[in-house]
Amino acid sequence: MSVNLDKNSIVFVGSGAIATALGDVLAEKSTLDVTLLSIEEDVIKSINEAHVNLNYFPNYNLNHALKATNDIHVLAQTDIIFLAVPSTVVVQYLKQHSKLIKPEALLVNLAKGFGSETQIIPDCIQEFTQNTFVSMKGPSFAREIINRQATGLTIASKNLHVFDVFEKLFANTSIFFDFTTDVTGVEYASILKNIYAIIIGIVDANFDSPNLRSLVLSKSINEMRRLISIFGGADQTIFNFCGFGDFSLTALNDLSRNRTLGLLIGKGFFSKDISERVVLEGRIAVNILFKQLTRYNICIDDYPLMTELYKVFNEIYDIKKFVNRILK
């Protein structure tokens, strides 16, 4: 792996909130050439001409060095590729454009979800690329990042040299890191936090109780820790930014879409029609994980919180009984 930090070409695949926020942070550095690769023509135009992202940060003036394009051929010259698109499209996107990507380019996954019905994203892409894979996760609302609030992220890679690259890349910014080689654990932690954030939302919708909230938070952390271990990660990964940090952010803040989904479910505003339309990663993940547990003959009774949420999404369910059932 060879990355020249004096002349880095960086591309964010996607022009959403997180891509724009991180891209704006890095664009402050004159040594970096930062581009958002987008399919949204209005966003591309607004960034290049007015230096704002009309769809996500219409009132924020972006760094003038941040560019946007729809030309996928920028991938051919890129040293670091940040994947900032939904998890459901990451694998297919890389497979489709793999011939454009330099063998030495770093692939940095920002998406939080499965790559297929049975595999996490790094397991999927290792089947067709040898590029160094980096998982970058943590408690990171884009609005906070773009306003330069201190933010902690976990960098996970099997290649130890990556750690120094990211320390230097984000040096003197508001981004701070912890590091691990447990790529599997970090990917699962980022998936599980969405599931358990929905659960906390349901609980809070029914009871505004600090005691109960803390009780369920503790139960959630323990289930997440054991599940990370079962699926091949290290249980101590729960204590990285990607674990407890990201879970607490997602579960306890109303900016979180998965917590909001839980609140809607808990208040009874969740019909079959809405269920079919909602494609949030937490909802997708609970079905995949539940199927994996049953496929491997793992006792689902050991994971009552996730099992109960699976029933919410897949059975006729009286949501008023949810809290009592998970406490049993």
Between CA 240 and CA 119 the distance in angstroms is: 22
Question: What was the pLDDT predicted at 64?
Answer: 97
| 269 DSSP β-pair partners | none
Question: What was the pLDDT predicted at 272?
Answer: 58
C-alpha angle 2/99/16, rounded to 5°? 80
Domains of the chain, by residue range, sit at: 9-181, 185-327
Is 102 within 8 Å of 76 (Cβ atoms)? Answer: yes
Question: What was the pLDDT predicted at 278?
Answer: 54
C-alpha angle 246/247/252, rounded to 5°? 110
Q: What is the pTM of this model?
A: 0.93
Q: Which of 34, 28, 143, 163 is nearest to 153 (CA)?
A: 163
Question: What was the pLDDT predicted at 296?
Answer: 84
**pLDDT tens per residue, range 38-74:** 999 999 999 999 999 999 999 999 999 999 999 999 9
Question: What was the pLDDT predicted at 199?
Answer: 97
CATH architecture of the domain covering 9-181: 3-Layer(aba) Sandwich (3.40)
Between CA 142 and CA 140 the distance in angstroms is: 6
Sheet of 80-83, strand order: 67-69, 33-37, 9-13, 80-83, 106-109, 133-137, 151-156, 175-180
Q: Name residues of the chain where pLDDT drops below 70.
A: 1-7, 270-280
Question: What was the pLDDT predicted at 14?
Answer: 97
Question: What was the pLDDT predicted at 282?
Answer: 74
Question: What was the pLDDT predicted at 4?
Answer: 54
What CATH number does domain 185-327 carry, 1.10.357.10, 1.10.1040.10, 3.30.1330.100, 3.30.460.10?
Answer: 1.10.1040.10
